Structure 1
Amino acid sequence: MKTDTFPKLLLRHAQERGDRPALREKSRGIWQTLTWQQLADEVATLAAGLAAQGFQRGNHIGLLGENRPRLFAAMAAAQWLGGVVVPLFADTTAEEIAGPIRSADVAYVFAENQEQVDKLLSLLPQCPAIQHIFFDDDRGMRHYSQPQLLGYDVLLAQGREGLASREALLDAELARGCAQDPAVLFFTSGTTGPARGVLHSHGALIDRARAAAQLDGLGDTDVTLAYLPPAWIGQHVMAYAVPMVAGSCVCCPESSETMLHDMREMGPSIFLAPPRVLEALLTQITIRINDTGGIKHTLYSYFIGLAERVGERILARETVGFSDRMAYRLGNVLIYGPLRDVLGMSRLRVAYTAGEAVGPDLLRFYRSIGINLKQLYGSTETGLFVTMQRDDQVIPDAVGPAAPGVELAVSPEREVLVRSPGLFLGYHGDAEGTRRAMDADGWFHTGDAGWMGDDGQLHIIDRLKDVGTLADGSLFAPKLVENKLKFSAYINEVVAFGDGRDRVCAFIDIDPDAVGNWADRQGLSYTGFADLSTLDEVYMLIGDVIAEANAEMAAIPGQAQAQVHRFLLLHKRLEADDGELTRMRKVRRDVIAQRFGSLVTAFYDGSLSGRVDAEVRYEDGRVGIVSADVKIRDAKTFPPRTMDKAA
């Protein structure tokens, strides 16, 4: 039988490596293991149960929850019967998931627990198509009597009872499935407009997973961690498609709070992290180092400086002087090795970062301490793997050459174009949108601005719609500015402005943990985030960070004019619940520019402060208004200079 669908791949692994671990989950402090054979048996039984509930080929089934083995089993069972999986973000409000559920005409939903069930029940008047809600965790569900509800264990029992009578049906549906069948319907993050449904086939996702497995040698001895939202295509590819192709093991942490501890216990060999996760881990490192003193702090500073100088070259197996190589080995014993162990990365063979552009400084840091971190470029529509950095060709400000099977081109308008076997089938219910995105020659228009180097490496500038020019005509790409500043542990997020203006200004969302730790060590008193962000001492701290970044930018051709001239510290965190970030924590620039428009105006009229009324959503669902007078400060800037002069 051809292994051209995920259920067929599952059965192949059950046959070839049935006793090897497929899924592991930490529950109540204990790791539980499901082998490939056990997973295949459960998926077949679950498919029989779904068939008993009327599930048929072409039906859409929603998945609402965190990463759990039963969620993976539900995906494979639905696909066995020819269904299309619709992963939904578990941390969204009921109102946010109503649109995707209606758009995809979802009639069946797997929900993790009572919290997710309550969301779905509240949506029944708006989404009458929902007829079946299957829940995993039955805590708190005892007195629920809605006819749509059925426990996972009950569904499994129904499947077990009817398995023999439906064996012919299951065999027929399995054989009927093919690579061209739709497999998953993802909804985009919504950074540039309303979320759209992106439909992918089995063949497209399997092809991209095979390309990754082939290039980086991923196999059945590898282990990966499933901790990111299942609704993100990056998580889906790395924790579902790649393991289904390579036969590797997927581990689910007990909770987001225990993720780092569970990661240290499990020791993954493959790791995927968006830049925000890498930034958060670096912030934790910085806080811990700042809390130490004396010899420990001195050793850390010395060996990190050494790593920044020679670590990347050693990782790339380049020639390094004997004394530096010996010193690096000592640093590996004293600093780098323990640091990787604290991060749970001591067994990593390869780590990927994707989702948005990573700052070159951040990539260099992780690589310098011996972590083989590589940047991926792709989008929901392209199946993640458009470019892939090779182990010996990692350039921090590039995203790598085309992945196997991919063709790249750059239009005269600098838009990156992609042709790939991993491209989506189309936007669900939006034929016109699909035609606009995919031209007659099969090129997908990514909406990203970039350029190709002479070495075949693709360089991404920013989203095409965000790239502009300053008043003097010089290029302004906000992401380049923002990533330079976000390398600082004290800065959580940055939103830069400058298109059509005479200078660049920036909103700074400070990291409360790192800045709070710094303020405590300075003996400063404050009552909360809003108070902390108004302290003059904190403004001076962030001003020093910006000045350092500006000094570096002054020495980089084409970036000197994009130095930050004025900045402010936002009085509230940028939050997904407030609509300022997507669920993958990407900045919604248009929303922020509109919501804080009075502050943008104050930047450019010379004001020393600005008044703003910001809408916030509380945990109980209430919406309120937070008003504040926000200070605006000038940043230290530098005249353009050559790299030689800067040195």
Structure 2
Amino acid sequence: MAETLPHLLTVQAVERPHHVAIRHKQLGLWQQTSWLAVQEDVTKAAQYLQQQGFRQGDTLFLLSEPRPEALLLALAAHWLGGVAAPLDPAFAQPQLLDLLHTLRPQFVFAEAQAQVDQVLAAKPDSAVVIYADARGLAGYQHPALVSYAQVVATAEIQAIAPAVTADEIAFRFYRLSTNYALEYSEVSHAELLRNGRQLVTQEALTAHEEALAARAFAASGHAKYLLSPWLLAGFTLNFPENLATRDTDRRELGPTLVAGTATTYQRLYALTQSRWPLPGSWQHRVVAWALRAAKTRLPLIAAFARWLVILPLQDVLGLRRTRVPLLVGEPLSPEATQFFADIGIHVRAWPEATAWQTSQLQVIPHESHEAHAFWGFSKWKAAI
């Protein structure tokens, strides 16, 4: 039985080669990638990393919002027996630069110009910096820079067997503690698959699910309850065009599986409340009646209330088809929990038990955040 993420990918590529593994919205259009094509791109990326000196035990750092390239490069690092280390793009700029300056990454995926600038400011001698979005980078002359499109453009695919075992670390997560110490947590392939299988079994997940990856894989819960089940069940993983369009893309897509944090659901709750009818208005009384009536045992009244208010609310949130709404990590507020239950969205909490350890590395503050502008806009960019 396959007990690592790369081995599971090979299984899916054999069992359902032409089924849609990934769907990504680009310039308003959904682009589809089959399981076989995913495996080929991961193999090409692994081949490129290997040629650049990436070896078993090395770490590929990921600085990106949710997008397929980050996921496939993480699997490529796993393929070679390496570790993927997602850095939360929500980190404040000074903290992120201090993290990068301390970790000194050699192999990095930096999504776009802003992330490339952050990496080069903190570690200008990185060996490989792969980017996905080329806008603004045309004049950059740094020898480590390479586009993801170039990485997977090779026509030949070398047969590289996955060099990874179940007990090896798949992901390592970093954060800064309240006293500004560097902390990390690790999750192995075996742990990921154990948690993933538990979810697949309990929620009866199948290859027919449509899941939305609306957050970066910067927390262990998303790796355990979204990435691992995706490879185990073989369903389609969808990526929004960007964070600004994720709500629109969710409504358009209608995912059956949503794995979100408390922040995700609280944001949706706040979005709904901002459009809620004013207390005392006839619209507010209608909504309140419908929420009560939807729970009645009278079928016609319940159906009318559901048609009048409940279904439109689910449509606004893009949750009408969602049958598996997962909450990863910290709990929701009681008000938000009650609201989602009232509109028929029964959010299930899955714990994110993370054991954080203090690193022996001492945090090295980036000497001058102002120097970032000079460094990024002079040495690595063509004169304008």
* TM-score of the alignment, normalized to the shorter chain, above 0.5: yes
Most deviating of 208-217 and 356-365: 356-365
Question: How many residue pairs align between the two structures?
Answer: 364
Please tell me whether residue 136 in structure 1 is matched to residue 136 in structure 2.
no
Q: What letter matches 2:134 in structure 1?
A: D
**1 CA distance for matches of 2:292 and 2:95?**
46
Aligned twin of 1:329: 303
Q: CA deviation at 1:231?
A: 1.0
Please tell me whether residue 187 in structure 1 is matched to residue 191 in structure 2.
no
Using a 3 Å threshold, how does the CA distance of structure 1 residues 94 and 82 change in structure 2: closer, same or farther?
A: farther
Q: What letter matches 2:317 in structure 1?
A: L
Aligned twin of 2:325: 351
Contact 1:198 1:380 in 2 (8 A): yes
Aligned twin of 1:280: 267
Q: CA deviation at 1:191?
A: 6.1
**2 CA distance for matches of 1:103 and 1:86?**
14
**1 CA distance for matches of 2:280 and 2:118?**
49
**2 CA distance for matches of 1:216 and 1:189?**
34
Q: What letter matches 1:339 in structure 2?
A: L
1:156 is matched with which residue: 144, 152, 155?
152
Aligned twin of 2:337: 363
Contact 1:186 1:233 in 2 (8 A): yes
**2 CA distance for matches of 1:236 and 1:294?**
45
Most deviating of 50-59 and 268-277: 268-277
**2 CA distance for matches of 1:368 and 1:191?**
37
Contact 1:93 1:119 in 2 (8 A): no
Contact 1:62 1:101 in 2 (8 A): no
Q: CA deviation at 1:100?
A: 4.1
Using a 3 Å threshold, how does the CA distance of structure 1 residues 103 and 244 change in structure 2: closer, same or farther?
A: farther
Q: CA deviation at 1:287?
A: 2.5
Provide the secondary structure at the position in 2 that maps to 1:272: strand
Q: How does 1:238-637 map to 2 (within 5 A)?
A: 238-290=225-277, 295-306=282-293, 310=295, 322-323=297-298, 325-381=299-355, 427=357, 429=359
Contact 1:23 1:249 in 2 (8 A): yes
Q: What letter matches 1:185 in structure 2?
A: R
Most deviating of 361-370 and 254-263: 361-370
Q: CA deviation at 1:179?
A: 0.5
Aligned twin of 1:212: 199
Q: CA deviation at 1:112?
A: 0.8
Percent identity among equivalent residues?
27
Q: What letter matches 1:156 in structure 2?
A: V
Provide the secondary structure at the position in 1 that maps to 2:275: helix
Contact 2:181 2:358 in 1 (8 A): no
**2 CA distance for matches of 1:62 and 1:28?**
27
Tell me the alpha carbon deviations over residues 359-394 of structure 1, each in whole angstroms, 9 at most, x when there is no partner: 23321221121112112223333xxxxxxxxxxxxx
**2 CA distance for matches of 1:249 and 1:37?**
13
Aligned twin of 1:177: 164
Aligned twin of 2:123: 124
| Rg larger for | 1
Contact 1:186 1:380 in 2 (8 A): no
Aligned twin of 1:12: 11
Q: What letter matches 1:227 in structure 2?
A: A
Q: CA deviation at 1:41?
A: 0.9
Contact 1:94 1:122 in 2 (8 A): no
**2 CA distance for matches of 1:100 and 1:219?**
39
Q: CA deviation at 1:243?
A: 0.5
Tell me the alpha carbon deviations over residues 96-151 of structure 1, each in whole angstroms, 9 at most, x when there is no partner: 234544655531001111111011111126xx5x2211111111111111122122
Provide the secondary structure at the position in 2 that maps to 1:258: helix
Please tell me whether residue 34 in structure 1 is matched to residue 33 in structure 2.
yes
Aligned twin of 2:376: none
**2 CA distance for matches of 1:36 and 1:95?**
39
Contact 2:101 2:122 in 1 (8 A): no
Q: CA deviation at 1:282?
A: 2.1
**1 CA distance for matches of 2:232 and 2:360?**
31
Q: What letter matches 1:118 in structure 2?
A: D
Return the TM-score normalized by structure 1: 0.53
Aligned twin of 2:107: 108
Most deviating of 333-342 and 225-234: 225-234
Contact 1:199 1:428 in 2 (8 A): no
Using a 3 Å threshold, how does the CA distance of structure 1 residues 118 and 370 change in structure 2: closer, same or farther?
A: same
Unaligned runs of 5+ in 2: 362-368, 374-384
**1 CA distance for matches of 2:100 and 2:168?**
21
Using a 3 Å threshold, how does the CA distance of structure 1 residues 347 and 190 change in structure 2: closer, same or farther?
A: farther
Contact 1:23 1:69 in 2 (8 A): yes
1:145 is matched with which residue: 141, 147, 156?
141
How well do the aligned residues superpose, as a CA RMSD in angstroms? 2.6
Contact 1:199 1:427 in 2 (8 A): no
Aligned twin of 2:208: 221
Q: What letter matches 1:148 in structure 2?
A: A
Contact 2:166 2:190 in 1 (8 A): yes
Contact 2:221 2:352 in 1 (8 A): no
Provide the secondary structure at the position in 1 that maps to 2:276: helix
Contact 2:226 2:259 in 1 (8 A): no
Q: What letter matches 2:54 in structure 1?
A: F
Provide the secondary structure at the position in 2 that maps to 1:227: coil
Aligned twin of 1:77: 76
**2 CA distance for matches of 1:132 and 1:229?**
21
Q: CA deviation at 1:92?
A: 3.2
**2 CA distance for matches of 1:5 and 1:283?**
39
Q: CA deviation at 1:295?
A: 4.7
Q: CA deviation at 1:293?
A: 9.0
Where relative contact order (Cα < 8 A, 6+ residues apart) is larger, the structure is 2
Contact 1:188 1:380 in 2 (8 A): no
Most deviating of 351-360 and 329-338: 351-360
Q: CA deviation at 1:327?
A: 2.7
Q: What letter matches 1:348 in structure 2?
A: T
**2 CA distance for matches of 1:102 and 1:200?**
24
Using a 3 Å threshold, how does the CA distance of structure 1 residues 98 and 285 change in structure 2: closer, same or farther?
A: closer
Q: What letter matches 1:338 in structure 2?
A: P
Contact 2:24 2:68 in 1 (8 A): yes
Contact 2:329 2:349 in 1 (8 A): no
Provide the secondary structure at the position in 1 that maps to 2:146: strand
Contact 2:9 2:39 in 1 (8 A): yes
